[in-house]
Amino acid sequence: MGKHKQRRAIPVFEHPLIETHCHLDYLDAAELEQTLQNAAAVGIERIVTIAVAPDNLDTVLGLSSAHPNIWCTQGIHPHEAESWSSAIGATIRQRMAEERVLAVGEIGLDYHYEHAPRQVQQQVFEQQLQIAVDTDMPVVIHTREADADTRAILSNFSDQLQRKGVIHSFTSSLDLAEYCLGEGFCLGFNGIATFNQADNVRAVVAATPLPQILLETDAPYLTPVPYRGKPNAPCYLPFIAEKIAQVKGYEIEHLLAQAYRNSCELLFPAA
């Protein structure tokens, strides 16, 4: 008997969902088409695909321009911080005026892998936060094992960031969560919240006010239970929503309605 014989079908709920963070540019054309079909079949109304590096800024913008239910961000991930240049910064700044671009991201600090020196990561994070301030756009922030420096840098910008943003795939300390929530940021939760060993993440979910929760998959990574081991996709977002609703003690439709409002207020304020 197979290990995953008990996998259940993806639930379909009455309220639509917004996938706030995934990486569709990692898919080929056929995979993308199937992914979009699967997402629509379970009520995913909008998908935000995230930029991470100079070589995918154009790609994600192209995807969002070619598909009416896809939007994108523009930004350089901390892993790619050494690829930063003033020209890339100018491109990101200019594209904040594009209709399909919703935020500056994915930006931040990652001290787990340290693919770039910490000082370089900090400088690139600060420069992109400044772009968000100057263009009045929200930010999509990645932080891993960098709580103190993330907080220190955000404290220098928080008063200037009018639209704040989201700390995505939140796995950091409750202390950092409370600071970010107090500053008006949302927290993004994904399949990690369903993992057996992720009590720390569920504790943060429990402490996060419902109006500051966003739902995401980070696909193709971090596939939720019960489909761990398979490539992740936006269509698995309902499993994440179920877990968040369970932890918060809300009926699923109530959770979905609020998460939808949160996503619209942060990323689609004109919609």
Q: What is the mean pLDDT of residues 155-172?
A: 96
Q: What is the mean pLDDT of residues 235-250?
A: 98
Q: Is the pTM of this model over 0.95?
A: yes
Q: What is the mean pLDDT of residues 225-232?
A: 96
pLDDT above 70: percentage of residues in the chain:
97
Q: Supply the mean pLDDT for the chain.
A: 96
Q: What is the mean pLDDT of residues 21-28?
A: 97
pLDDT digits (tens, 9 = 90+) for 26-60: 999 999 999 999 999 999 999 999 999 999 999 99
pLDDT of residue 158: 87
pLDDT of residue 192: 98
Categorize the per-residue pLDDT at 271 as very low, low, confident or very high, splitting at 50, 70 and 90: low
Residue 270 has pLDDT above 90, yes or no: no
pLDDT of residue 5: 53
Q: What is the mean pLDDT of residues 176-185?
A: 98
Structural domains present in the chain: 17-267 (3.20.20.140)
Q: Give DSSP secondary structure letters for the chain.
A: --TTTTPPPPP--SS-EEEEEE-GGGS-HHHHHHHHHHHHHTTEEEEEE---SGGGHHHHHHHHHH-TTEEEEE---GGGGGG--HHHHHHHHHHTTSTTEEEEEEEEEETTT-SS-HHHHHHHHHHHHHHHHHHT--EEEEEES-HHHHHHHHHHHTTT-SS-EEE-S--S-HHHHHHHHHTT-EEEE-GGGGSTT-HHHHHHHHHS-GGGEEE---TTSSPPTTSTTSPP-GGGHHHHHHHHHHHHT--HHHHHHHHHHHHHHHH-TT-
pLDDT of residue 2: 47
pLDDT digits (tens, 9 = 90+) for 57-103: 999 999 999 999 999 999 999 999 999 999 999 999 999 999 999 99
End-to-end CA distance of the chain: 48
